[in-house]
Structure 1
Amino acid sequence: RVLNLNDNLKLRDLPKVMRTMLTLTEFSMAGNEIKSLPEELFRLTNLMKLDLSRNELDGIGNILGNLSRLTYLDLSSNRLWNLPWPALVKLKVLKTLKLGKNPLTNLSANISELSALEEVDLSETRVTMLPTEFLELETLKVINLTDTEILGPSPAVTEQGLPAILEFLR
């Protein structure tokens, strides 16, 4: 139920055999030259862990929401400027979201709908402000902001005073 296709530098597409691997629970294709995600990937509805880091993705499809069992999603080290938040918020059991080393500039307020989220990696992104809705992520334990240009909490948080700011930075 685990398939690891990491570091096949010449691999630019998913193998057609993926259509038949419907029982996969973990799939890793890190360190390749994948530029787009084929629909076959989104038929793997039993996936719980998906690692597409270190590729050349500049977008991911709206049908990502079909992977409703995902608990771990690594999209770090790609070329993602934005994300399909309406699809992402369908990942209700997602615990780990790795977005570091992307030219990502902002996060949607809808991130608060990822109520199981425990870890978010935004390191080396271009995100400058976290949405106030981050306060609603009660399960969030780790947020990596290394080498970002976060300006601080939004004005809506700072208006609530020091306790809200400390809570925001917890």
Structure 2
Amino acid sequence: LSKNKLSELPSEITRFTALDKLNLYHNRLVSLPEEINQLCHLTYLDISRNQLSVLPAYHCKLPLQVLLVSHNRLVSLPEEINQLCQLIELDASCNQLSHLPIQLGDLQHLEALNLRKTFWLNCQEVL
């Protein structure tokens, strides 16, 4: 569904409960519906290059291994991010993060963290 100028996620997407990869790259999304949690096998989510200012905590209930949220308008990451216990890669580059949650340090399987061109005030507690 990448590069389709979507302003909202079609509700029909939740019918694909076996879906393990969802690419919503380069659309016009300002939010994602809570119903996305019905995609209980989703391990890869690319929501890069959209217009998201918030990454809701309910996304942290998915079994994601890869979460790509670069080039949005995010000002924070949810404290519940540590619930993504299978997460291997997080790309939050090119956002406007004001801080990083201390819980980010709890991600034991995280191998790749991209924060380039991301502005933040205080990430000392994570490091």
TM normalised by structure 1 equals 0.71
Q: How many aligned residue pairs are there?
A: 127
Deviation of 1:33 (Å):
0.8
After the TM superposition, which segments of 4 or more aligned residues of structure 1 sit over 4 Å from their partners? none
Q: Are the equivalent residues in 1 in contact too, given 2:56–2:78 (CA < 8 A)?
A: no
Instruction: Find the counterpart in structure 2 of residue 59 from structure 1.
Output: 31
| Aligned counterparts, 1:41-80, within 5 A | 41-80=13-52
Aligned partner of 1:97 among 41, 64, 67? 67
The structure with more radius of gyration = 1
Identity of aligned residues (%): 35
Higher relative contact order (CA 8 A, sep 6+): 2
Instruction: Find the counterpart in structure 2 of residue 128 from structure 1.
Output: 98
> Unmatched 5+ residue regions in structure 2?
none
> Unmatched 5+ residue regions in structure 1?
1-28, 158-167
Deviation of 1:94 (Å):
0.7
Amino acid at match of 2:44: Y
- Report the RMSD for the aligned CA atoms in angstroms: 1.2
SS of the equivalent of 1:120 reads strand
Aligned partner of 2:121 among 145, 151, 161? 151
SS of the equivalent of 2:35 reads helix
Amino acid at match of 1:149: F
TM normalised by structure 2 equals 0.94
